[in-house]
Chains A and B, each alone.
Chain A
Amino acid sequence: MVKTGKLILEDGTEMLGKVFGYEGSIAGEVVFNTAMTGYPESLTDPSYAGQILIATYPLIGNYGVPNKDSKNSMLTHYESDKIQINGFIVSDYSHEYSHWNAEKSLDQWMIDNKIPGLYDIDTRALTKIIREKGAMLGKIIIDNQDVPLFDPNKENIVNKVSINEKQVYGNGKYRIMLIDCGVKNNIIRHFLKRDTTIIRVPWDYDFSEEEYDGLFISNGPGDPKRCDITIKNLALAFENSEPIFGICLGNQLMSLASGADTYKLKYGHRSHNQPVLEVNTNRAYITSQNHGFAVDNNSLSDEWNPLFINLNDDTNEGFQHKSKPFFSTQFHPEASSGPTDTEFLFDKFLDMIKVSKQENE
């Protein structure tokens, strides 16, 4: 007999489901993602740390989870070394999986990582609640073992997902200082494909004395304003001329460092189909996104211009410095999971580095 579990939202909503994965109660911020593929990637994306994820696509687990091959000391098929979400809510869990590259079932993988999940939940009804009332806290209760609510935005969760000490990847021509606020493996993979050496440092690392050709600020979970040290370090970096590129949380941190403001979106953007328009052009891109906070376009200082905006709700999707080679995107050009249309931004960053290096030489 399959065990029954309960999802409780902070507004009092309760939904019964069937348990899969680890059998233990957990709390977190409840958010939804409308992607139709990519659960192994999403679940290991550190930006989801502290969250209970709802998959709006109902059939989950179809292709199991991939093997643990690794390259450059990173797992090839995952975005980090472990499941980052706190819990997983789906409609129709596929008990049988089939894929040439599958090593085990999603269920088993979640058990291994001690992550609980519920299936047989009306995920559409649940999503509509969050759409109407905004992202909210919630908990998965199994075997009636209650746990307190937990708000990942109230603490510095970046500290938990960032590495503890500096790590270097690759041996390429261009040295990139990568501030890890919860970086996805695919960002590093994209850089390594482009003749770089990656110096991955903790979120609060003081890199002002370090030599690098370009600075990168990664994605990550939670409220950007909690990363005060990173913001301060960035503000200093803005005084130099080495190119800077930020993604997702990186976009928000750069905005805060530039004096702009961020705010919490009602329910965030978490999907593979977010349309963005490059400002003042007719070029639009489909992007992969995963964020709950956004940059306030109106708060950008005179030195900065919006670079991309969201075609659905006009929110900020990136901005750039008017004269210096600094830019950032709210979306994920590295994809994984999601569409790969904006990968060229990595090339753009590398081109900036090449130009800046030439100028310096």
Chain B
Amino acid sequence: MENKINKVLILGSGALKIGEAGEFDYSGSQALKALKEEKIHSVLINPNIATVQTSKEIADEIYFLPITPFFVEQVIQKEQPDGILLSFGGQTALNCGMELFENGILEKYNVQVLGTPIEAIRTTEDRQEFADLLRGIKIKTPESYSCESIDEALIAAEKIGFPVITRAAFTLGGQGSGFCNNPNELSELAQTAFSFSNQILVEKSLKGWKEVEYEVVRDKYDNCITVCNMENFDPLGIHTGESIVVAPSQTLSNTEYHKLREISIKIIRRVGVVGECNVQFALDPRSEDYRVIEVNARLSRSSALASKATGYPLAFVAAKLGLGYGLHELKNSVTKTTSAFFEPALDYVTCKIPRWDLGKFNGVNKQLGSSMKSVGEIMSIGRSFEEAIQKGLRMIGQGMHGFTANKELSIDNIEQELSEPTDMRIFAIAHALKQGFATQKIHELTGIDLWFLEKLKNILNIENQLLTTKGLDDLDDNLLITAKKAGFSDFQLARSVIKSSDESIDNDLLTVREYRKKRGIIPFVKQIDTLAAEYPAQTNYLYLTYHGIEGDIEYEQDGKSVIVLGSGAYRIGSSVEFDWGSVNALNTVNKMGYRSIMINYNPETVSTDYDICDRLYFDELSLERVLDIIDLETPKGIIVSVGGQIPNTLAMRLHGLNVNILGTSPESIDNAEDRHKFSSMLDKLGINQPRWRELSSMNDIFHFVDTVGFPVLIRPSYVLSGAAMNVVSNKEELEHFLKLAAKISKKHPVVVSEFIQQAKEIEFDAVADKGEIIAYAISEHIEFAGVHSGDATLVFPPQKVYFETLRRIKRISKQIAKELNISGPFNMQFLARDNFVKVIECNLRASRSFPFVSKILDQNFIEMATRIMLGEKVEKPNKSIFDVEHIGVKASQFSFSRLTKADPVLGVDMASTGEVGCIGDEYYETILKAMMSVGYRIPSKGVLLSTGDIKSKVELLNSCRLMKARGLQLYATPGSASFLESHGIECISVHWPDEDKKPNSLDLLQKSMIDFVVNIPKNLDSSELNNDYIIRRRAIDLNIPIITNARLASAYITAFCTVEKKDIQIKSWNEYIKE
């Protein structure tokens, strides 16, 4: 090791956002594990409090601070680390590190960059410099020329050869871009493009080429390996984060595979990476021609996927290499006997499928393209492509049962859907095949390799055979085995063989299960061992397959194992917090002397690291698969309450099949989940709730609204388009929403609830034992009720709630815990206004805020809950929320900039993709930390205000005075301006976007005169709606911080006007909790 390294600083990636998500919790955690093994003191900066890496067992000192040069410098000054790791926190950490380097801060404090040198990273980040470097070693990149006239463009295109793609420089959203097949098309397009910009780029079109990636590792001795290659199902043109990806590649010959491998190694050597790097290629589907498209000289989403796909712990190894090891000096952590210098040989195929949540966003463009929109992903493992893809399509959890046997889709123009894909891409292919499209035709429309399409078609061929059977008695064993090998679930079999109705299928799938078990048709458990069985594996990284005659594992069947069900794909509403829950439950299970068993299939998680538990089943969280595993494991019991909603919904069905659910009884879970049962329980206990009805006709709805009054919250059970839930404030809106968005009938009723305005929303997180609350945390939302709790800003302990309210909440919670006889984690949400408290929700599982409150209180709620579920008596902690001397603020991260056209306004449906949690001594200091951590920059120029209705106008008056006093220029749209003026606050009135008058709000945004926008939606008046939308969207597109909630805006403004950045305390988590 060069210069003795005793203390290392590592930068995390902050809140989860589209394009930078859970994979960096995994990579950071692995790097920290490597540091721990070397007995190096670790310092972590990451405001994402819900992550596993921000745990005491993992990092020595943790700072919940924004990952910006300003804060990182202060931590460096305080901690004086010897080295810094920049490659484990995504682009966020890398960018911050590069700035620190360029500002001379790393040099000033003598901090050594471990791993890949900064100069090398910088080369890969600069497109031109990188292209030159590759050309220098005779490696091809896409040919491209910048042109300033149509003639120049034509000459360039001749040089490159058609087809070409043109891009107008300096424009947003791809204006003036497009494909041109000949000079005529180019002249036409160039003409349009030059009206946007005086420069266009003419580039070789690689549309339709295969997209292939390699994960490459290099040590300081120049030893290199490629750990994995991956092939995109979709050809170039669709972002790799948006494509189904298989590992290893399936359609590449040996020469292609090794040609690209060799180039990857040449590149990593030339760049000088020490650690890990990802190389993306375009490969001509008609020759061995290729282009290098991109190189990431850091751990990435792909490297996390490659780690899970192969069992090779890339991040761990990369960290060790950064500390000076050679690859040959490290051991393979699966076999523990062979070398880490090797390339995994897989004896299975993996499939990554993205998870989108586009339905949650109003107005969003659903087309897939070169930018990423997905919020999570899954990885499925099988011994045939059919098996893996069908598993995977179930895992994404969007109501699909595989490639087929799904609800019929209605697609208007199937050719268009195939050539201009949306998030329904793969199901459109199923639809087309069923319509009789030839695979060749689909290949022409999609560019997807015929091999994949033939495999998909094979699934339908098998289904067709199944459909001809007249029930299970008529089903040939060979066909049944063939179907199971092709990934058919018992559900799919019930639908195609028994022809089950929607009502009977839940039972029928169990009939299929019993039948096939009787016939001895069961799946086998195989190990992922990195060497395709060449050497024995010492770890239990497992999956199930029907392609086998024996399993790799011998079972003890001694009832000493505990299964924990994980969270599945990250999605809006369920992400890293449930991975933290799962990991902590596993740790506790281990501590208590049981064998810990994990089931999960999310490659972006720590819970799917095979060294975190005794056995990891990287497989489905379906009833069928969980039962398969239970049959083999015969565990003591199963924990369903730490992984979010997916495990929770399985509780009742598993219970019905005599599976021992640990903790709260599934009947109680059902009593809390079922709206009717829960409601009558509250009535019985005399606990208030907002009035609600389940109604199935417009008349009934109007009638009910007459009694409760507007506004009301509408939750249709069948959504046609747009948001599933909405708050409406008058009859017109109600009619408009119901007509446009929902179907109402006896079968599809609508839940209408009274909506209480100006009410505080309060979260109650707790752990109980046999109905008695052992530990609890109460936090308040800054926003009034109406903003989804996952989007709201949380303050804990509550600072602005009446003591009386808190007392009432505690009393109600006690009653409910007792009534439901809760043993384990639970969460409740309350509305409070003037000390009147109403219950709005109760979940008998860990909630999103569990890691946040656990870390602020320094009481691990999951550990306590797990101990209780395993029957141990847990003492009540002697510290309550009233003894906490610091404050925690949890703020939400939005990814609207990635979601073209989506309206960034918040409502009752959740829209945030991540969160941070910061700790401080003072209220506003903590708010400022948290807001800066989710990317808010303190304004120094001008603020554009549209302050909404009268209540929010009043709410914001004082904030506006503060900003004015701070010297910020205030601009306001007409109504807001006159309100401010009339209260003696000077501001410049600006016109709405659709008015052809100056000064216009849009101009100001465009001319960078505004660096903060407050835009509070007022009502649903269409012209104002549209104008507001345009301002909000433009702010997002121009990357100008925007707040759309008056309460949050006022809190944030007060924070940055009363607390100076330099006065923010730089204190570690340890320092706060030890006070």
Contact = CB atoms under 8 A, between A and B. Distances in A.
Contact of A284 (B327, B338, B450, B524): B327
Interface stretch (A133-141, A193-201, A211-219, A269-277): A269-277
Nearest to B547: A91
20 contacts: A37-B249, A56-B345, A56-B533, A57-B347, A58-B347, A66-B253, A91-B384, A92-B547, A96-B451, A96-B455, A97-B451, A98-B454, A99-B251, A124-B532, A128-B552, A282-B223, A282-B326, A283-B222, A286-B342, A339-B343
A233 interface: no
A241 B946 CA distance: 90
Contact of A124 (B249, B339, B342, B526): B526
Nearest to B248: A36
Interface of A, secondary structure class, is loop
Contacts of B255: 77, 336
A158 to B, nearest CB: 25
Contacts of B328: 275, 277, 282, 284, 311
Interface string A63-99: 1001000000000010000000000000110101111
Q: Name the 4 nearest CB pairs between A and B, nearest first.
A: A38-B254, A96-B454, A311-B339, A34-B345
Interface in A31-67: 32, 34-38, 40-41, 56-59, 62-63, 66
A188 interface: no
Interface string A15-34: 10000000000000000101
Nearest to A101: B253
Contact of B341 (A34, A275, A339): A275
A221 interface: no
A103 interface: no
A273 B285 CA distance: 26
Interface in A321-336: 335-336
A159 interface: no
Interface string B89-104: 0000000000000000
B344 interface: yes
A283 B221 contact: yes
A153 interface: no
A128 B533 contact: yes
B451 A94 contact: yes
Contacts of A32: 533-534
A293 B174 CA distance: 60
Nearest to B482: A120
A358 interface: no
Interface string A279-293: 000111110000000
Contacts of B225: 286
B221 A36 contact: no
B342 A36 contact: no
A162 interface: no
Given A57-B532, A275-B328, A312-B338, A34 B347 contact: yes
Contacts of B343: 272-273, 286, 339
Contacts of B250: 59, 62
A338 B384 contact: no
Interface string B250-266: 11111101100110010
B535 interface: yes
A347 B882 CA distance: 75
Contact of A92 (B224, B287, B384, B534): B384
Given A92-B384, A99-B253, A312 B342 contact: yes
Given A57-B248, A131-B534, A283-B222, 16 more contacts: A34-B531, A59-B349, A59-B385, A94-B451, A98-B449, A125-B548, A131-B535, A131-B536, A277-B341, A282-B328, A284-B221, A284-B339, A285-B223, A286-B225, A312-B342, A339-B261
A304 B341 CA distance: 26
Nearest to B349: A59
Contacts of A37: 248-249, 252-254, 257-258
Question: Which residue, A128, A271, A273, has most C-beta atoms of chain B within 10 A?
Answer: A273
Interface in B405-463: 449-451, 454-455, 458
B549 interface: yes
A272 B533 CA distance: 14
Interface residues of A, number: 55
Contacts of B532: 34, 56-57, 124, 127, 271
A59 B257 CA distance: 15
A59 B254 contact: no
Contacts of B254: 37-38, 40-41, 336-338
A289 to B, nearest CB: 11
A100 B288 CA distance: 9
Interface string B308-327: 00000000000000000011
A341 interface: yes
A15 B344 CA distance: 27
B550 A125 contact: yes
A151 interface: no
Interface in B223-255: 223-225, 248-255
Interface string B282-323: 000111000000000000000000000000000000000000
Nearest to A335: B258
A122 interface: yes
A40 B254 CA distance: 9
B256 to A, nearest CB: 8
A251 interface: no
A63 B252 contact: yes
B347 A340 contact: no
A337 B254 CA distance: 6
Question: Which residue, B252, B533, B549, has most C-beta atoms of chain A within 10 A?
Answer: B533
A38 to B, nearest CB: 4
A222 to B, nearest CB: 22
A356 to B, nearest CB: 29
A123 interface: yes
A36 B253 contact: no
Contacts of A41: 254
A312 B336 CA distance: 10
A283 B327 CA distance: 10
A57 B265 CA distance: 24
Interface in B536-552: 536, 547-550, 552
B347 A123 contact: yes
Contacts of A337: 254, 258
B513 interface: no
B459 to A, nearest CB: 13
Contacts of B253: 37-38, 40, 63, 66, 99, 101
A36 B345 contact: yes
Interface in B336-386: 337-339, 341-349, 383-385
Contact of A63 (B251, B342, B384, B533): B251
Contacts of A127: 347, 532-534
B547 A98 contact: no
A338 B346 CA distance: 15
Contacts of A59: 250, 349, 384-385
B549 A271 contact: no
A285 B285 CA distance: 30
A164 to B, nearest CB: 29
A311 B550 contact: no
Interface string B1008-1028: 000000000000000000000
A285 B349 CA distance: 26
A275 B342 contact: yes
Contacts of A63: 251-253, 451
Contact of A340 (B262, B287, B345): B262
A312 B535 contact: yes
B534 A311 contact: no
Contacts of B552: 124, 128
Given A59-B384, A124-B347, A277-B328, A341 B265 contact: yes
